[in-house]
Amino acid sequence: MNESIRRRRAFALRGVVACLAVALAAAGQAADPLPLTGVVNVNTASVEELQLLPGIGESRAQALIDLRKRRGGFKSLDELKEVKGIGNASLERMRPHVRLDGKTTARVQ
């Protein structure tokens, strides 16, 4: 293969890599949680209200509700880590917005 073809392929490959990097960065920004005010009571919240929490989608919200029903409610926020996909880091992101009692007041700004 001559040098000219190698250069063109290398140039095209760099372009593809750059496009992928931009796309991944944009996807990461879109996945950032929306600004949230208020709190979510995990013992009374609906699937929709639980999804206001950072890192909680529909399936994880339903898993939280299922666990809540099995346990008869949560007595500690650390119990939320029993749901697959909720670990220490994700619980810490949620902690400022999660309560075990009181009214759910969370709203997206």
Q: Tally the domains of the chain.
A: 2
Does 55 lie in the same domain as 12?
no
Look at 28 and 10; give whichever has higher pLDDT.
Answer: 10
Answer yes or no: do 57 and 78 share one domain: yes
Confidence class for position 2, pLDDT limits 50, 70, 90: confident
Q: What is the CATH number of the domain that holds 53?
A: 1.10.150.320
Residue that wins the pLDDT comparison between 63 and 20: 63
Same domain assignment for residues 3 and 54: no
Instruction: Determine the average pLDDT of the residues in 16-43.
Output: 64
Asked whether residue 89 falls in the same domain as residue 74, the answer is yes
- Under 8 Å CB-to-CB from 106, ≥6 apart: which residues? 36, 37, 38, 39, 40, 49, 52, 53, 97
CA angle at 26 for the pair 24 and 57, rounded to the nearest 5° = 90
Is the model's pLDDT at 44 over the cut of 90? yes
Which amino acid, one-letter code, is at 70?
R
Whether residue 17 has pLDDT greater than 60: no
Confidence at residue 31, expressed as pLDDT on a 0 to 100 scale: 44
**pLDDT at site 32:** 44
pLDDT 10s digits, 72-101: 999 999 999 999 999 999 999 999 999 999
Residues 5 and 52 in one domain: no
Asked whether residue 11 falls in the same domain as residue 50, the answer is: no
48-73 exposure pattern, b = at least 16 Cβ within 10 A, e = fewer: ebbbbbebbeeebbebbbebbeeeee
Q: What is the average per-residue pLDDT within 17-32?
A: 50
The residue written with tokens 């990461």 in the block is: 28
- For residue 12, the enclosing domain spans 1-32
